[in-house]
Structure 1
Amino acid sequence: MRQADHNHPGIGCLCPWLDFVHDADRSVGRNSTGYFRPVVDHKRSSGMKRPELLAPAGSMEALLAAVNNGADAVYLGSTRFGARAYAGNFDAQQLQQAVRYCHQHEVKVYVTVNTLIMENELDEAKALIDFLYHSDVDALILQDLGLVSWIRRAYPDFELHASTQMHIHNREGVRWVKELGMQRAVLARETPLELVQECAEEGLDLEIFVYGALCVCYSGECLMSSIQGGRSGNRGQCAQPCRMPYQLVELESGREIKAPGEYLLSPMDLNTLQHVEQLMQSGATSFKIEGRMKRPEYVGAVVRAYREKIDAILNGQPKRSDEAEQIRLKKLFNRGFTEGYLFHQQGSAVMNPLRPNHVGVQIGTVLSQRGGRVQVRLSAPLHQGDGLRILRENGEDIGFTANYIYKNDLLCAQGQSGDILELPVAEKVKPGAALLQTTDSELMKVIQAQSAQPAYRIPVCFTVCGKAGEPMVLTVSDAQGYRAEALTQQRLQPAQKAPLDKQRLVSQLGKLNDTPFVLKEVTNLLEGALFLPVQQINEARRQALAALIQLREVRYPHRGPNQRQPIQSMVIEAKSVLPKLIVQIETREQAEALLDLPVQLVSSWPALIQAYPQIMPSSLRVQEKPTVLEGEWLQAEEIGTLSRATSKLICTSGFNVTNSEALALLLSQQAVQGVEFSLELTAAQQTEIRAAFEKQFHRSAPTVQFVYGYRDLMVSKACPVNCILSDGNQRNCQLCHQKAYALKNKKGERLPVFGDAACFSHTLEKTPFQLRADELDAHSSWKIRLTLEDARTSREIVTRYLAFRAERQPTEIG
């Protein structure tokens, strides 16, 4: 057996490729042996660019379902540093196996290393990157700025994607990660379609979420699970406190506000299937399906639905109704569907306060209950083994499996629409209650069968060469330029009666059902009428294809012997001296109480900045359309600010700095004068980072330590106050400023909520955080955040920390 090198597509190919194109232009067709990906029919095509369909893979079974149903790429996590720590994930051997399988099928693999990395984890994270680089992974999805910085210097050819955890929600953020050397930005789920189009003008690949679960908080900015339960969403351990019950209460009176349900922070699931054409026109490069925690059937069915929709549009096929497909998708998982912020949906069109879990579809209504059974009238088919739920207005819903179905008091295996059946249910149920189907056992069988074989196959050409007395040479090649050869053990002989013609060769070489390939063409270059046993042809086919598969598995052969590049240290210029005490304020009352104190006031409220010139402007945490703020100094809350900075910047905790590499990256930016640590770090971890920085750069880092204040648990585009007191669609209604409100959880804890200057909702922790006196770092600037405090309390707090500050040296910070 011989195998050829990987050549440029088309070079050295021994058969015609007149209608083959590169991967970026593939579409879908069908022949007798299965699906394959030939060129789009340009006579019918809309001319739109083919987007990448990116699927989740929380397990090897889900990965197979994604690939076999038509995904162009999958994203998965290793057992460390992924934002879904409780997904199945992939150990080292499984990950390499996944990469090989995907590359065989022309599917890319992106690995999520999208958690924040602590200082003592940097070496382990770097070792993981080494492993992934040499395992032929196509790209990494990253959150941690420090890890991005290190990879760019160690492996400059490794493709990097900025995770949605990086909180990129404006054009400036896209521009900055492009300048950082990243090849793709995953935009926040809250980004409207018009803004996606603007961001696309930056010339960077954009990835948008098109289907799956929504977070109520901007990704990367949620600390609720971390602060309340010690499970950090930025570390892949989110406990989903947003899916728990809450009530809206007035803070002053304690009065509970009546709401349509208890789950005030629980969004519906995103579903944009009906808007795929608009999404394709937006300039987004990749369509991402959420769901690494979902079962393989969910992944396979959603991928297939979007695959068929995208390909129909590209081929100019007539539009068809999506109603049947929508019902299929609802059966797999839904909390109610929304078209999301992409299409400007707000309030009740996004949130589902009634139930935070899978609701399925209604297939019947309860008529009565007696003798431990409920009588139901079906409005859709029911089969034995289906998952069911009966809704109850008061108390928990009843979930069960249809193991026993009775019709006319006899056991049966199924029921049809209109049938009256009985189901065993012991709990009390009222007539009129809805019967929901949460698992369709027959649908699951269909999806499993669809996912068992590749929906799309790679076209290959065979060329047969040889003459009497020599082995037959079989060459196989694909459109990407991979080519392999195999020689038969026996030699060709003159044919006595049945020579090897093209028809016989096609018959044998076309047996590819157990491979990723489909036959495109056979070229017969045999010299004369020759014969060879069929077994010899089949064995040569197997050997050639095995060699081709082995070649296709390795996309980046240059990585094999490569070691990491020598790491160049970043250049960090001298910085201006930071204020010793920074106080962020929200109200005029607070400003008046503090103006005479030796502190640096900061605010994001335009009215305060205009009224008091001594206040340092602050950008907002969310700025879809950023405004240019004037001033010598500026507090920066998000990375987009870095691409338009004309002031001296102090980067806040919104940058999620948890290691010395991230600290160094920000300080290497000329405008950045100081950096605040992540609010998830302990005082000891902050000291560890400062020490590591000083060891590397032989100087102290100008850092900011958060010492007092209510920390944001969530920053959200969804406002619970407006959703309950109004229609949920208004912006700048000021309801949250006319009275003070809080979300009360089942423990009775009250989490204050208010809107910022751009009308994004902030949910605060129940009581203000404050460092102990022995945790205050004299080498850092200190930051106080005042939100709910009145004038008297504000002054008392600031005066106390001024006294602490006077006791500690050095006097200069930076």
Structure 2
Amino acid sequence: MAHKAEILAPCGSFETLEAALRSGCDAVYLGGEKFSARQNAANFTDEQLKEAVRLCHLRGVKVYQAINTVVFDEQLEECKKAVKFAAEIGVDGLITQDLTLVKICRECCPDLEYHASTQMTIHSESGVKMAKNLGFSRAVLSRELPEHTIKDLTNLGIETEVFVHGALCMSVSGQCYMSALIGSRSANRGLCAQACRLPAQGDKITKGQERYALSLKDMSYVDKLQRLEKDGVSSLKIEGRMKRPEYVAAAVNCCKNSLENKPYDLKALEAVFSRGGFTDGYYNGRLGREMFGTRQKEDVSATARILPELHELYRRCEKRTKAFFTIKLQESSQAELSLRDSEGNTVTVYGDIPQKALKKACDSDYVKKQLSKLGDTIYEFGGLEAAIGKDLAYPASALNDLRRQAVEKLDQKRIDFFTHTADFTDKSLADFSALPKAYERKKIRIMLSKLSQLEGVDLDNVELVGVPIEIASEAAKIVSDKSKLMIIMPRFTFDEKALCEKLSAAKEAGITKMLAMNIGHCLIANDLGFELHSGYSFNLCNSAALDEVKKLGAKDCTVSFELKASQIEKLKKPIEIGFVAYGRLPLMLTANCPIRNDMGCKNCKGKLFDRTGREFTVRCPKGRDCAEILNSDILYLADKLDDFDNADYMELHFYEENAHRINEIIKAYHGERGAKPENATNGLYYRGVL
């Protein structure tokens, strides 16, 4: 049987769910009232989730629940209850980014499938393989990937899911902290404020002449779905849990027709929502200005005009299966009606005893006319086998009643057939020995950006020196004690083979430590024999997730800087932990350089300006695959270290600082005064995120 990709529809409300189902999707994804990365969607109560599973399974449609925010320690038991409920009602799979869910599913309900969210930044062979090793049955791939990479990743023994239509984030998913750092609305917690849709440009903004250097058009691969299916992609995902029912219906309809090689109306899809049209730049590997766009007045007007037309797409129920009837109408016996669907589910109902005909006797045509009135149900009349005795009458109302009974009974049988619950055994998530608080002076690790920063830095009071992979081999020539060097892995790369070649060269130069920045790096570290440390981009926010990283082989880990200091203090530690204590925190990681696309490299000042006049440093992508947008303020905690007694080490991140300034900062974190920058911030360690 040829491989068939599913069309996966977004459902942010019950009305949208009905539109998706009536339009013919193969699967839906939705969120409960908590732990959903779209907290501003209507989402589903527990009762609505149960009903959603029932309605979907009636149609043979799968239901994936997004429990895909990071989880704090104080929420672990509540999160476990959410998973238990999903298992009990027959949800077909969970979508998650927090390694805690891996632990819950593996230990409490091993029969429940779980999918690796795009928030896990899975974009390479090692990432997909590591997801498989962790027990994920599917990996939702990063949206930045070209076709040839998508194709390569579909042959690694795990299902792949690819976004094919909807909004594009400027940042690589899972690596955006802009909304959190600016307004405490964390994307990793499902409350992104979409700061990327506001004015931003490579020079100061003049009122009335704003540009939008962070706003991408919506993606659309509708014309490429057959190729993606042929490449082996398992699920074709439509973005849009915040969108209206008409949008979802139009997207499902276009995708379905595209896969079936039927005409589809892309103009209608563009009219219901777009930002000046669509882009397929990532798929084709053509990045640049044509990928950028904003929502215009014309787009809004087009939406208002098209909505009534699109409502017709889901006014009638999508026929999902054939209904095959067998009826027996015999003298002196109860009427017997059997109904079978295309999947082989069969039910039988009984009615009154037929009477002798006073006028016209019933025949198969008469019976067929009544039984084929399937109206707004999922069934299409497939045929009738009739055994009807001679000169018998049976009222149309009685036949209709038999049909209704049979349909209701078959509905339930189909729901039971497609619903697979999973047993849940409650187990502790903190069944490990915890390390004591550090209390004593914390170890200092410095993270450098440039080779020139190494010359003149006093390394005597530094435990480790992190250097980017691009300069690692050269750094090994400068630092005599190679045991102090650690390679900082890139958070995203398009060429993992080249990356591994650089790693091998660095190891030959004497570097044996690696700071992993995504789960794929854990596999690479093991294969190449590096000592593994895990970085802040793992977004580790609770004790159970720390334990999972330890099982991946990490010697220690840097917790998320979206945690409050008080939350870090309460973490139960299976391994040593650290925190980012200094530097320009990252706001975005972007495959599209915002300045290059806004004004060209020639005019680049290395800064991005927002509408308030704030300047954000942009780390040039030259020599790496992504640009980084860094915070306008500098994190400084040298005077707050007593609030981090539970941490064993701290990371100091340096971008533009020279060796002299780096030495000043190191001394400040050893207790000396006088190095605090003017634009200092405490980050999120005291205000936290929502």
- TM-score computed with the length of structure 1 as normaliser: 0.75
Given the alignment, which residue of 285, 289, 295 partners 2:244?
A: 295
CA contact (8 A) 1:161 1:186 kept: yes
Given the alignment, which residue of 544, 552, 564 partners 2:425?
A: 564
What letter corresponds to residue 610 of structure 1 in structure 2?
Answer: E
What letter corresponds to residue 202 of structure 2 in structure 1?
Answer: L
CA contact (8 A) 1:471 1:492 kept: yes
Structure 1 residue 74, shift from structure 2 partner: 1.2
Q: 1:457 to 1:605 in 2, by over 3 A?
A: closer
CA contact (8 A) 1:633 1:647 kept: yes
Structure 1 residue 763, shift from structure 2 partner: 0.5
Greater share of residues in helix? 2
What is the alpha-carbon distance in structure 2 between the residues aligned to residue 755 and residue 715 of structure 1? 11
Given the alignment, which residue of 547, 550, 566 partners 2:412?
A: 550
What is the alpha-carbon distance in structure 2 between the residues aligned to residue 235 and residue 50 of structure 1? 33
Superposed CA offset, 1:410-442 (max 9, x none): xxxxxxxxxxxxxxxxxxxxxxxxxxx4421xx
Q: 1:139 to 1:303 in 2, by over 3 A?
A: same
Question: What SS does the corresponding residue of 1:484 show, helix, strand or coil?
Answer: strand
Structure 1 residue 659, shift from structure 2 partner: 0.7
Q: 1:491 to 1:181 in 2, by over 3 A?
A: same
Q: 1:342 to 1:55 in 2, by over 3 A?
A: same
Given the alignment, which residue of 648, 660, 666 partners 1:792?
A: 660
CA contact (8 A) 2:354 2:392 kept: yes
Residue 165 of structure 1 corresponds to 119
Superposed CA offset, 1:624-666 (max 9, x none): 3222223421110111112222211100011110111111001
CA contact (8 A) 2:317 2:376 kept: no
Superposed CA offset, 1:138-158 (max 9, x none): 211111111222122211111
Question: What SS does the corresponding residue of 1:536 show, helix, strand or coil?
Answer: helix
Residue 270 of structure 2 corresponds to 330
Structure 1 residue 776, shift from structure 2 partner: 3.1
Residue 549 of structure 2 corresponds to 666
CA contact (8 A) 1:161 1:184 kept: yes
What letter corresponds to residue 152 of structure 2 in structure 1?
Answer: E
Residue 434 of structure 1 corresponds to none
Residue 214 of structure 1 corresponds to 168
Given the alignment, which residue of 700, 709, 716 partners 2:590?
A: 716
Are 1:468 and 2:468 an aligned pair? no
Question: What SS does the corresponding residue of 1:672 show, helix, strand or coil?
Answer: coil
Rg comparison, structure with higher value: 1
Structure 1 residue 502, shift from structure 2 partner: 2.6
Superposed CA offset, 1:735-768 (max 9, x none): 79xx751111122211100135413110011111
Residue 94 of structure 1 corresponds to 48
Are 1:482 and 2:345 an aligned pair? yes
Structure 1 residue 275, shift from structure 2 partner: 2.3
Are 1:764 and 2:630 an aligned pair? yes
Given the alignment, which residue of 275, 287, 292 partners 1:346?
A: 287
Residue 522 of structure 1 corresponds to 384
Residue 397 of structure 2 corresponds to 535
Q: How does 1:584-663 map to 2 (within 5 A)?
A: 584-594=447-457, 596-599=459-462, 600-612=464-476, 614=482, 615-626=485-496, 627-628=499-500, 629=503, 630=507, 631-645=511-525, 646-663=529-546
CA contact (8 A) 1:331 1:360 kept: no
Residue 74 of structure 1 corresponds to 28
Are 1:226 and 2:180 an aligned pair? yes
What is the alpha-carbon distance in structure 2 between the residues aligned to residue 334 and residue 603 of structure 1? 41
Are 1:357 and 2:295 an aligned pair? yes
Question: What SS does the corresponding residue of 1:612 show, helix, strand or coil?
Answer: helix
What is the alpha-carbon distance in structure 2 between the residues aligned to residue 623 and residue 740 of structure 1? 25
What is the alpha-carbon distance in structure 2 between the residues aligned to residue 597 and residue 586 of structure 1? 20
Question: What SS does the corresponding residue of 1:477 show, helix, strand or coil?
Answer: strand
Are 1:268 and 2:249 an aligned pair? no
Given the alignment, which residue of 619, 623, 627 partners 1:754?
A: 619
What letter corresponds to residue 763 of structure 1 in structure 2?
Answer: I
What is the alpha-carbon distance in structure 2 between the residues aligned to residue 288 and residue 144 of structure 1? 21
Superposed CA offset, 1:465-496 (max 9, x none): 363212122111212232222111x2134556
Q: 1:113 to 1:473 in 2, by over 3 A?
A: same
What is the alpha-carbon distance in structure 2 between the residues aligned to residue 118 and residue 590 of structure 1? 36
Question: 259-268 or 89-98, which moves further after superposition?
Answer: 259-268
Question: What SS does the corresponding residue of 1:281 show, helix, strand or coil?
Answer: helix
Question: 287-296 or 461-470, which moves further after superposition?
Answer: 461-470
- TM-score computed with the length of structure 2 as normaliser: 0.88
Are 1:683 and 2:632 an aligned pair? no
Greater share of residues in strand? 1
CA contact (8 A) 1:335 1:359 kept: no
What letter corresponds to residue 535 of structure 1 in structure 2?
Answer: S
Q: 1:755 to 1:257 in 2, by over 3 A?
A: farther
Superposed CA offset, 1:47-106 (max 9, x none): 6x3211111111111111111111111111111111111111111222222221122222
What is the alpha-carbon distance in structure 2 between the residues aligned to residue 272 and residue 510 of structure 1? 39
Residue 396 of structure 1 corresponds to none
Superposed CA offset, 1:787-806 (max 9, x none): 121221111111222458xx
CA contact (8 A) 1:71 1:107 kept: yes
Q: How does 1:401-480 map to 2 (within 5 A)?
A: 437-440=302-305, 443-465=306-328, 467-480=330-343
Question: What SS does the corresponding residue of 1:641 show, helix, strand or coil?
Answer: helix
| Number of residue pairs aligned between Structure 1 and Structure 2 | 645
Structure 1 residue 444, shift from structure 2 partner: 2.0
What letter corresponds to residue 550 of structure 1 in structure 2?
Answer: Q
Question: What SS does the corresponding residue of 2:562 show, helix, strand or coil?
Answer: coil
Give the percent of matched residue pairs that are identical in Structure 1 and Structure 2: 31
Q: 1:232 to 1:725 in 2, by over 3 A?
A: same
Residue 106 of structure 1 corresponds to 60
Question: What SS does the corresponding residue of 1:684 show, helix, strand or coil?
Answer: helix
Structure 1 residue 611, shift from structure 2 partner: 3.5
Residue 18 of structure 1 corresponds to none
Structure 1 residue 344, shift from structure 2 partner: 1.3
What letter corresponds to residue 678 of structure 1 in structure 2?
Answer: S
CA contact (8 A) 1:333 1:358 kept: no
Residue 422 of structure 1 corresponds to none
Q: How does 1:311-326 map to 2 (within 5 A)?
A: 311-312=260-261, 325-326=265-266
Question: Which consecutive unaligned segments of at least 5 residues does structure 2 have?
Answer: 673-690
Q: 1:310 to 1:358 in 2, by over 3 A?
A: farther
What is the alpha-carbon distance in structure 2 between the residues aligned to residue 621 and residue 557 of structure 1? 39
Structure 1 residue 514, shift from structure 2 partner: 2.7
Structure 1 residue 519, shift from structure 2 partner: 1.1
What is the alpha-carbon distance in structure 2 between the residues aligned to residue 672 and residue 606 of structure 1? 23
Structure 1 residue 712, shift from structure 2 partner: 0.5
What is the alpha-carbon distance in structure 2 between the residues aligned to residue 301 and residue 768 of structure 1? 46
Superposed CA offset, 1:519-540 (max 9, x none): 1122224566644332222211
Residue 136 of structure 1 corresponds to 90
Question: What SS does the corresponding residue of 1:634 show, helix, strand or coil?
Answer: strand
Q: 1:572 to 1:459 in 2, by over 3 A?
A: farther
Structure 1 residue 595, shift from structure 2 partner: 5.2
Question: What SS does the corresponding residue of 2:8 show, helix, strand or coil?
Answer: strand
Question: 476-485 or 674-683, which moves further after superposition?
Answer: 476-485
What letter corresponds to residue 15 of structure 2 in structure 1?
Answer: E
Structure 1 residue 449, shift from structure 2 partner: 2.2
CA contact (8 A) 1:259 1:724 kept: no
Question: What SS does the corresponding residue of 2:18 show, helix, strand or coil?
Answer: helix
What is the alpha-carbon distance in structure 2 between the residues aligned to residue 505 and residue 565 of structure 1? 54
Q: 1:655 to 1:596 in 2, by over 3 A?
A: closer
What is the alpha-carbon distance in structure 2 between the residues aligned to residue 668 and residue 288 of structure 1? 31
